[in-house]
Homo-oligomer: A and B are copies of this chain.
C-alpha cells in the first residue's frame, strides 16, 4: 500500500479555511484531517476534538515534553500544535492527510516532511478580507486590526507555498483544493516507482 500524502493548508483568519476544509473532507474519500491542539479559548460553536483539541497551557506543555506534537508554535499568546500520532497513523494507512496550520508551523512541517504539499488560501483582496473579519462579529476592533495586520504578514510568506487557492466563490475554492489533492498524486516525482515498474516488465 502506498503511504498517503501530507497537505498543509494555511490561511489568514477570515479566508474561510474551516468551511473549505469541511466541504473538501465531505466531498472526498480517503482524505483525513488532523485536528490541531491549542490553548486558545473555544469560539462559540467550536467543539473539542472536532475543531481543535482544546488544552490548558499545562497539558500542552506536557505534550511538548513528551514529543507528542509534531510541531507547535505560539501565536497571539496561545499555543497551536499538531498531535503526532494521528498524522502518522493516517499516512501509514494510505490516507492523505490535511493539516491546517499557520505559516510558521507550516514551515516546520515542511522541514519534517520535505515531500509534503503546501497550500495557501488567499482572500480575493485585502479589502474583502477585512470586510469578512468585521462581519464575523466575534472579535473586538483591536483584534480585528491585529488580525488584518497579521494576515498581511502571513500573505507575505505565501511565496513559500506550492499552491494558492483563492476563496472568492466558496464552491470554486473547494473544487480547487480537491483538484490539487488529486493532481498532486499524479505528479511525476510521486509516481517514479510506478513508472519504473511498468518499464521493468
- Is A1 interfacial (CB-CB < 8 Å)? no
Complex interface bits, A159-184 against B, C-beta within 8 A gives 1, otherwise 0: 10111111000000001101110111
Q: What are 25 A-B contacts with C-beta separation under 8 Å?
A: A122-B195, A123-B198, A125-B198, A126-B201, A127-B201, A152-B199, A155-B198, A155-B199, A159-B188, A159-B192, A161-B188, A162-B188, A163-B183, A163-B186, A163-B187, A163-B188, A164-B188, A164-B191, A164-B194, A176-B182, A176-B183, A178-B179, A179-B179, A179-B180, A180-B183
Are the C-beta atoms of B166 and A187 separated by less than 8 Å?
Answer: no
- Top 5 nearest A-B pairs by Cβ distance? A183-B183, A179-B182, A126-B201, A179-B179, A179-B183
Q: Does A156 contact B (CB under 8 A)?
A: yes
Q: Considering the complex, give the chain B residue whose CB is closest to the CB of A127.
A: B201
Interface residues of A (CB under 8 A from B): 119, 122-123, 125-127, 152, 155-156, 158-159, 161-166, 175-176, 178-180, 182-184, 186-188, 191-192, 194-195, 198-199, 201
Does B126 lie within 8 Å of A195, measured CB to CB? no
Complex Cα spacing A163 to B195, Å: 11
